[in-house]
């Protein structure tokens, strides 16, 4: 608590960037571990944002007509506040996506400076819209299921004209990890099994439909299918095992 307040105070009161960085460098990282370990930060707490960040999962000019059509379809299924404060039930919700969630979590601004300041979420590390991973995840909590709409950009080439298998694994890990994290809190991937059934053309839009299979203690088992946007072609299928961890595990604890 003391460390957190101190960091926030430094960031809010010391305006000179070099001085701020120098002061923050003096705080031993290990001093933050007890606070991190004692605080089970669940995904549902992440929207406590300290400043308005860019949400990468919102439509941008690089999105194809098909990507927008699917976005609008799932967005129409989302719970929305209607006139008079009533909520239109939908069961679905869109998850926001930032290039460094830590930076925008409550109290995370100073932590993001202490911990590898230049780090960026792998799937959101380019500002060039449409060049790499364009995606949005819609979650259905009651069905324990999520759908990721993914448009693969030109930087993801593997076989000529098609998406690299590692990029497909990345978006699968992201989708399954998002579902497992949403349902079980903070998790890490322990195992991924992927069957590549048919190539994904660069520039195309695919759906990654992920479901929960079971939870056994710290183990969350999930699986997904990657299909063409109309569901007629199976591109990839995968299963994943995610293990719940204490936040301290991320810092060598």
Ligand X SMILES: CCCCCCCCCCCC(=O)SCCNC(=O)CCNC(=O)[C@H](O)C(C)(C)COP(=O)(O)OP(=O)(O)OC[C@H]1O[C@@H](n2cnc3c(N)ncnc32)[C@H](O)[C@@H]1OP(=O)(O)O
Q: Which residue numbers are catalytic?
A: 173
- H or E segment at 71? helix 65-76
Residue among 76 and 191 whose Cβ is closer to ligand X: 191
Collect contacts of 111-120 with beta carbons under 8 A, ≥24 apart: 111/7, 111/32, 113/11, 113/21, 113/24, 114/7, 114/24, 114/27, 114/29, 114/32, 115/29, 115/251
Judged by CB under 6 A, how many residues of this single chain contact ligand X? 19
Q: SS3 of 176, please?
A: helix
Which residue of 24, 32, 43, 222 would you call a contact of ligand X, by CB under 6 A?
A: 43
Q: Is 127 helix (H, G, I), strand (E, B) or coil?
A: coil
Q: Which is nearer to ligand X, 7 or 180 (CB)?
A: 180
Q: Given candidates 151, 174, 184, 236, which one binds ligand X under the rule CB under 6 A?
A: 174
Q: Work out which of 93, 181, 185, 240 binds ligand X, going by CB under 6 A.
A: 181
Task: Compute the distance between CA of residue 213 and CA of residue 222 in angstroms, rounded to an integer.
Answer: 5
243 binds ligand X (CB under 6 A): yes
Kindly give the interhelix angle for 17-26 and 2-13, rounded to the nearest 10 degrees.
160
- The yes or no reply on residue 188 touching ligand X (CB under 6 A) is yes
10/43 with CB nearer ligand X: 43
Shortest gap between Cβ of 172 and ligand X (angstroms)?
Answer: 10
Contact residue for ligand X among 70, 108, 111, 173 (CB under 6 A) = 173
Applying CB under 6 A, does 219 fall inside the site for ligand X?
Answer: yes
CB 87 within 8 A of CB 77: no
Q: Which two tokens stand for residue 162?
A: 């098609």
Residues forming contacts to ligand X in the complex (CB under 6 A) are 43, 95, 101, 173-174, 177-178, 181, 188-191, 217-219, 241, 243, 245, 249
């Amino acid at each position: 608590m003391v460390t957190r307040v101190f960091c926030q105070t430094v960031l809010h009161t010391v305006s000179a960037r070099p001085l701020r960085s120098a002061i923050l460098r003096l705080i031993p990282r290990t001093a933050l571990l007890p606070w991190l370990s004692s605080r089970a930060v669940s995904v549902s707490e992440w929207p406590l944002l300290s400043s308005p960040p860019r949400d990468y999962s919102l439509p941008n000019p690089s999105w194809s007509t098909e990507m927008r059509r699917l976005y609008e379809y799932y967005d129409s299924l989302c719970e929305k506040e209607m006139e008079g404060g009533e909520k239109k039930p939908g069961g679905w919700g869109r998850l926001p996506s930032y290039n460094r969630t830590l930076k925008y979590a409550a109290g995370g601004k100073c932590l993001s400076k202490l911990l590898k300041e230049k780090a960026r979420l792998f799937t959101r590390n380019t500002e060039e819209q449409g060049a790499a991973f364009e995606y949005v995840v819609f979650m259905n909590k009651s069905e324990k299921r999520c759908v990721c709409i993914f448009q693969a950009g030109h930087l993801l080439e593997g076989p000529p004209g098609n998406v690299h298998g590692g990029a497909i694994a990345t978006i699968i890990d992201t989708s399954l990890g998002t579902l497992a994290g949403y349902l079980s809190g903070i998790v890490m991937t322990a195992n991924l099994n992927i069957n590549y059934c048919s190539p994904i053309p660069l520039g195309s839009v695919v759906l990654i439909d992920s479901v929960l299979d079971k939870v056994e203690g710290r183990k969350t088992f999930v699986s997904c299918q990657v299909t063409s946007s109309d569901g007629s072609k199976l591109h990839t299928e995968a299963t994943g095992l995610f293990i719940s961890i204490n936040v301290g595990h991320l810092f060598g604890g």
